Amino acid sequence: MDREFLETLGLEKETIDKVLDEASKDIGKQKAAIDAKTEELKTANATIDRFQSGFTNENDPFQG
């Protein structure tokens, strides 16, 4: 959604500003949630890597 689209709907500038401000807030919240999940995933992957690097074929409990 952009200003030009809202203008084509005949909305006034003040209304468009309010709509875009609200949309920006929602987008910001979602970006923050994505960033938090991305950090969780990085941590989980690092933990997996540490566990995997600690095992050799002889002491890997998931082998044979």
DSSP string, the chain: --HHHHHHTT--HHHHHHHHHHHHHHHHHHHHHHHHHHHHHHHHHHHHHHHHHT--TTT-TT--
User: Would 39 be classed as within a structural domain?
Assistant: yes
Residue 58 within a domain: no
Return the DSSP state at 62.
Answer: T
Whole-model pTM over 0.85 = no
Does 38 map to a domain?
yes
Evaluate whether residue 47 is within a structural domain. Answer: yes
Residue 14 lies in a domain: no
Q: What is the pLDDT along the chain (64 residues), one digit of tens a residue?
A: 789 999 999 999 999 999 999 999 999 999 999 999 999 999 999 999 988 888 666 666 666 5
Domain-located, residue 8:
no
Query: Hey, what are 9's tokens?
Result: 């709907």
Domain encompassing residue 41: 27-53
Position 5 in a domain: no
Sign of CA dihedral 48, 51, 57, 60: negative
